[in-house]
Structure 1
Amino acid sequence: MNLRMILTGAAVLPLSLLVGQPAGAASADPMADAFAKASSTYEVPRDLLVSVAYSETHLDGHKGQPSASGGYGVMHLVTAKTLDKAATLTKKSASVLKSDDAANIAGGAAVLRALADELKLDAAARKDAGKWYQAIAKYGGASSPSVARLYADTVYEQLAQGIRATTPGGETVTVPARAVTPDRGPYAKAADLDNPSTLAASTDYPGAAWAPAHSSNYAVSNRPTSDAIDRIVIHVAQGTYAGTIDWFQTGPRPNPTSAHYVVRSSDGAITQTVREKDRAFHAGNWNRRSVGIEHEGWIDNATWFTDTMYRSSAALTRNIADRYGIPKDRTHIVGHSEVPGADHTDPGRYWDWTKYMQYVTGGGGGGTNPHTPESVCGTGYKVIDSSALGTAGTVFLLYNADNGNNCVATIKKTSLGQATATTAFLEVEGKPRVTDTGNFEYYAGPVRAAAADKCVKWGGKAGASTYESGFEHCGS
Structure 2
Amino acid sequence: MVRRPLLSLVLAVALVAAAPAAPSAAADRTPSAAFTAAAARYDVPRDLLVSLGYAQSRLDERAAGRSGGHGMMQLADNGVSRTLSEASALTGLSRAALRTSSPANVAGAAAVLRSYADSAGLDAAARADLDRWYPAVARFAGAVDDTVARLFADTVYDQLATGFEGPLSVSARPVAPDRGKLARVPAWGSGDVGVLSADYPPAAWAPANSANFTVSSRESSYPIDFVVIHVTQGSYAGSISWFQNPASKVSAHYTFRSSDGAVTQSVREKDIGWHAGNWDYNTRSIGIEHEGFVDNPAWFTDAMYRASATLTRNLTTKYGIPRDRAHIIAHREVPGATHTDPGPHWNWTYYMQLVNGVTGTGSGTVDTASTNLNVRGGPGTGYAVVGSVADGARVTVWCQATGTTVTGTFGTSNVWNRIGTGRWVSDTFVNTGHNGFIPGVPRC
Both proteins in one fold, TM over 0.5: yes
> Residues of 2 paired with 1:224 and 1:110: CA distance?
50
Which residue of the other structure, out of 252, 263, 266, is the alignment partner of 2:256? 263
The amino acid across from 1:40 in the alignment is A
Which structure carries more strand by proportion?
Answer: 1
Distance 1:33 1:191, change over 3 A: same
Corresponding residue of 1:376: none
Q: Structure 1, residues 35-93: CA drift from partner, whole Å, max 9, x if none?
A: 1111111111111110000000111121xx63111111111111261111111111111
Describe the SS at the equivalent of 1:201. Answer: coil
The amino acid across from 1:119 in the alignment is A
Which residue of the other structure, out of 336, 339, 355, is the alignment partner of 2:334? 339
The amino acid across from 1:79 in the alignment is D
The amino acid across from 2:253 in the alignment is H
Q: Which range is displaced more, 178-187 or 190-199? A: 190-199
Structure 1 residues 320-399: aligned runs within 5 Å: 320-365=315-360
1:105: Cα distance to partner?
Answer: 0.6
Corresponding residue of 1:133: 134
> Residues of 2 paired with 1:196 and 1:342: CA distance?
38
1:193: Cα distance to partner?
Answer: 2.2
Give the unaligned 5+ runs of structure 2: 1-25, 362-385, 390-420, 422-444
1:196: Cα distance to partner?
Answer: 5.5
> Residues of 2 paired with 1:232 and 1:268: CA distance?
18
> Residues of 1 paired with 2:195 and 2:116: CA distance?
34
Distance 1:26 1:144, change over 3 A: closer
1:76 aligns with 2:74: yes
Corresponding residue of 2:16: none
Q: Structure 1, residues 327-347: CA drift from partner, whole Å, max 9, x if none?
A: 111111001011122121111
The amino acid across from 1:57 in the alignment is S
1:197: Cα distance to partner?
Answer: 6.5
> Residues of 2 paired with 1:194 and 1:179: CA distance?
23
Describe the SS at the equivalent of 1:232. Answer: strand
* Number of residue equivalences: 335
TM-score of the pair, normalised by structure 1: 0.67
Describe the SS at the equivalent of 1:183. Answer: coil
Corresponding residue of 1:276: 269
Corresponding residue of 2:160: 159
Corresponding residue of 1:51: 51
> Residues of 2 paired with 1:176 and 1:304: CA distance?
20
Q: Structure 1, residues 357-413: CA drift from partner, whole Å, max 9, x if none?
A: 1111112539xxxxxxxxxxxxxxxxxxxxxxxxxxxxxxxxxxxxxxxxxxxxxxx
1:31: Cα distance to partner?
Answer: 1.0
> Residues of 1 paired with 2:296 and 2:27: CA distance?
25
> Residues of 2 paired with 1:347 and 1:133: CA distance?
33
> Residues of 1 paired with 2:170 and 2:337: CA distance?
40
Corresponding residue of 2:89: 88
Whether the aligned pair in 2 keeps the contact of 1:162 and 1:176 (CA below 8 Å) is: yes
Structure 1 residues 177-216: aligned runs within 5 Å: 177-195=172-190, 199-216=194-211
1:262: Cα distance to partner?
Answer: 0.6
> Residues of 2 paired with 1:201 and 1:305: CA distance?
25
> Residues of 2 paired with 1:263 and 1:133: CA distance?
24
Corresponding residue of 2:31: 31
Corresponding residue of 1:60: 60
Corresponding residue of 1:106: 107
Whether the aligned pair in 2 keeps the contact of 1:146 and 1:191 (CA below 8 Å) is: yes
Whether the aligned pair in 2 keeps the contact of 1:146 and 1:193 (CA below 8 Å) is: yes
> Residues of 2 paired with 1:26 and 1:66: CA distance?
22
> Residues of 2 paired with 1:291 and 1:229: CA distance?
7
Distance 1:266 1:100, change over 3 A: same
| Runs of 4+ residues deviating >4 angstroms | none
Distance 1:78 1:345, change over 3 A: same
The amino acid across from 1:257 in the alignment is V
The amino acid across from 2:239 in the alignment is T
Whether the aligned pair in 1 keeps the contact of 2:224 and 2:285 (CA below 8 Å) is: yes
The amino acid across from 1:44 in the alignment is V
Q: Structure 1, residues 189-237: CA drift from partner, whole Å, max 9, x if none?
A: 2242233668233421111000000111111111222111111000011
Corresponding residue of 2:151: 150
> Residues of 1 paired with 2:65 and 2:255: CA distance?
16
1:147: Cα distance to partner?
Answer: 0.6
Corresponding residue of 1:248: 243
Distance 1:364 1:46, change over 3 A: farther
Whether the aligned pair in 2 keeps the contact of 1:355 and 1:364 (CA below 8 Å) is: no
> Residues of 1 paired with 2:159 and 2:334: CA distance?
35
Whether the aligned pair in 2 keeps the contact of 1:259 and 1:273 (CA below 8 Å) is: yes
> Residues of 1 paired with 2:31 and 2:352: CA distance?
37
Whether the aligned pair in 1 keeps the contact of 2:161 and 2:175 (CA below 8 Å) is: yes
The amino acid across from 1:149 in the alignment is R
Distance 1:160 1:37, change over 3 A: same
The amino acid across from 2:49 in the alignment is L
> Residues of 2 paired with 1:177 and 1:140: CA distance?
23
Which is higher, the Rg of structure 1 or of structure 2?
1
Whether the aligned pair in 2 keeps the contact of 1:268 and 1:313 (CA below 8 Å) is: yes
Identity %: 53
The amino acid across from 1:189 in the alignment is R
TM-score of the pair, normalised by structure 2: 0.72
1:303 aligns with 2:301: no
Which residue of the other structure, out of 218, 224, 229, is the alignment partner of 1:229? 224
Q: Which range is displaced more, 29-38 or 232-241? A: 29-38
Whether the aligned pair in 1 keeps the contact of 2:196 and 2:205 (CA below 8 Å) is: no
1:26: Cα distance to partner?
Answer: 8.6
The amino acid across from 2:97 in the alignment is V
Whether the aligned pair in 2 keeps the contact of 1:131 and 1:183 (CA below 8 Å) is: yes
Distance 1:178 1:257, change over 3 A: same
> Residues of 2 paired with 1:322 and 1:208: CA distance?
18
Whether the aligned pair in 2 keeps the contact of 1:150 and 1:194 (CA below 8 Å) is: no
